[in-house]
A and B are shown apart, each in its own frame.
Chain A
Amino acid sequence: MSFPWANEYKPGHPLMQWLDEKLPLPRFVYNAVGAGYPVPRNLNYAWNFGVLAGFCLMIQIVTGVILAMHYAANQGVAFDSVEHIMRDVNWGWMMRYAHANGASAFFVVVYIHIFRGFFYGSYKAPREMIWLLGVVIFLLMMATAFMGYVLPWGQMSFWGAKVITGLFGAIPLVGEPIQQWLLGGFAPDNAALNRFFSLHFLLPFVIVGVVILHIWALHIPGSSNPTGVEVKTESDTVPFHPYYTAKDGFGLGVFLIGYCAMLFFFPNALGHPDNYIPANPMSTPAHIVPEWYFWPFYAILRAFTSNFFFIPAKLMGVLAMFSAILVWFFLPWLDRSPVRSGHFRPTFRKFYYLLVLDTLVLGYCGGAPAAEPYVMISQIAAVYYFAHFLIILPIVSAIERPEPLPFSITEAVLGKDDAATLAPAA
């Protein structure tokens, strides 16, 4: 599962030799993220975000396990226990802000990671499985983040839970029973809060499992790179350690500066003040929106305001919202161009930037009140979103004339590759 020129693990100390025979864990680490994993030499900073996402997952698990030591998942005391964490527990405020802002940081990092994949065609053969697993991770993240937001049992928690489980109520015939089954009641209550807590604790470890599969699948073809040209020879690669441990370490430092700035100076900037009001089943907040990372999808949900043929508007919105992510599963087969990187695809590149813009517009509309002109803009942007994946990508990949590719990664980096000039003679 690696290139033939990969460095081989050679245990030095007799203890390490003994360990290598019984349980070759150091060898595994060496081959996964050590000097034994050859990586394209031309990775840019866009490739830092996988490691950063893993780091965010670790932040969330560590702070989350700690918060669970002090939190009580009971509708009578949940809100107070969060205030107890904020006021009484040593460093509790920091743990909670680190967790809440950690979720936002995780999504920032993962969105960049996903759009990196969009631009550089990272989803294309032979890396489809990595992409599919990545979409699964993203779906699990969304479920986990949603359930975590319910736990403080403030106004936004309660109404978020009610609205999101209401989505399932849109399913024909069985919708309402499913919604009641999910909640364990007719409205969010103790049963819902308790199961959300249980699942919110479980799912991150499921994510860890899928991340391991994601990385396993990655290590079979090896990392992609900004040229999209596959690795040919040893001169195309450098060992992961020290080259990319150092580069990722630098990226991590930059990330931590931004994360700590949010955590210590603007801890509530991305939250909603209404969530500091205890849940009240009798009064909905005037302006109810999900967390920012759900806004683009929320805008698509709200874009359907009238029945579409025979499908009710409510169901259509739900279907569209889920389809907006599910369409990513088909991406490797919708984009048929054999050229991976957007660097060499002039037409694709323009549409890629339009998609980025479109997603930002959707995000803005999703965070805005459900009124004109935002509904109209959401509708146009939602149509364009699906058109990008289902119409534009297949057509562009069929008619586009890509720019010439470099012979190899080495040529792209050094301007020449001896293998390229020697190859015809050989």
Chain B
Amino acid sequence: MSQDAGTEAVLPDGEGVRRRDFINIAAVSAAGVGGVITLLPLISQMAPSADVLAESSTEIDVSAIQPGQAIKAIFRKQPVFVRNLTAKEISEAEAVPVASLRDPQSLKDRTKPGKENWLITMGVCTHLGCVPLGAGEGEVKGEFGGYFCPCHGSTYDTAARIRKGPAPKNLEVPEYAFTSDTVVKIG
């Protein structure tokens, strides 16, 4: 029982394209493209929703932070460290030859012009994401006077640059801007 009788007879065996082939390829392609496009919303729905993205900037009043002090704030559900560096800490950070660092950056690269005493970094260790110590009152600052991660011993200096331990990068500096002398908008 040949369903192709009539169309096949027109062409010699193994030659040419039958109408049936065209319909078959067109139908399967349309279904395939449609199926793939349908997957996009199914995947996209797992990405951060609009209400999560709406929380993605934070304003912080830094007027109460004295030199040598730091605070922990929350930015995108993660800790952010805002630290008012002392003159000594600044000079320590600037004394280090940048080329000798694992992730070479100067303090200037990591602060805003004229606001070099404000070191604003994520409080997330670049090794595996723990919160380093050093921002809170009385916490261990590590041998370089910056931050010390208790999970695997990564040690950061007063510019929050990685100096020792397994972390590959300096503590991340989030996008931020001073909206006034005392208010920082992060994100």
A: which residues have CB within 8 A of B?
62, 66, 69-70, 84, 87-92, 94-95, 235, 238, 249
Contact = CB atoms under 8 A, between A and B. Distances in A.
Nearest to A90: B44
B49 A66 contact: no
B47 interface: yes
Interface residues of B, number: 13
Contacts of A235: 1
Nearest to B47: A90
A69 B47 CA distance: 12
Nearest to B28: A249
Nearest to A235: B1
B45 A89 contact: yes
Contact of B41 (A69, A94, A249): A94
B27 interface: yes
A91 B31 contact: no
A90 B41 contact: yes
B21 interface: no
B64 interface: no
B46 to A, nearest CB: 7
Given A87-B50, A95-B45, 12 more contacts: A62-B42, A69-B45, A88-B49, A88-B51, A90-B41, A90-B50, A91-B41, A91-B45, A92-B45, A95-B41, A238-B1, A249-B27
B27 A84 contact: no
10 contacts: A62-B42, A66-B45, A69-B46, A84-B51, A88-B49, A88-B51, A89-B50, A90-B47, A90-B49, A92-B45
Contacts of A90: 41, 44-45, 47, 49-50
A258 B1 CA distance: 35
Nearest to A98: B41
Contacts of A84: 49, 51
Interface of B: 1, 27, 31, 41-42, 44-47, 49-52
A377 B39 CA distance: 47
Contacts of B52: 88
Nearest to A87: B50
Given A66-B42, A90-B41, A94-B41, A249 B49 contact: no
A88 B42 contact: no
B35 to A, nearest CB: 11
A111 to B, nearest CB: 26
A41 to B, nearest CB: 9
A91 B49 contact: no
Closest 6 CB pairs of A and B: A91-B41, A88-B50, A88-B49, A88-B51, A90-B44, A89-B49
Contacts of A249: 27, 31
Nearest to A66: B45
Contacts of B50: 87-90
A150 B27 CA distance: 40
A95 B47 CA distance: 14
B49 to A, nearest CB: 4
Contacts of A92: 45, 49
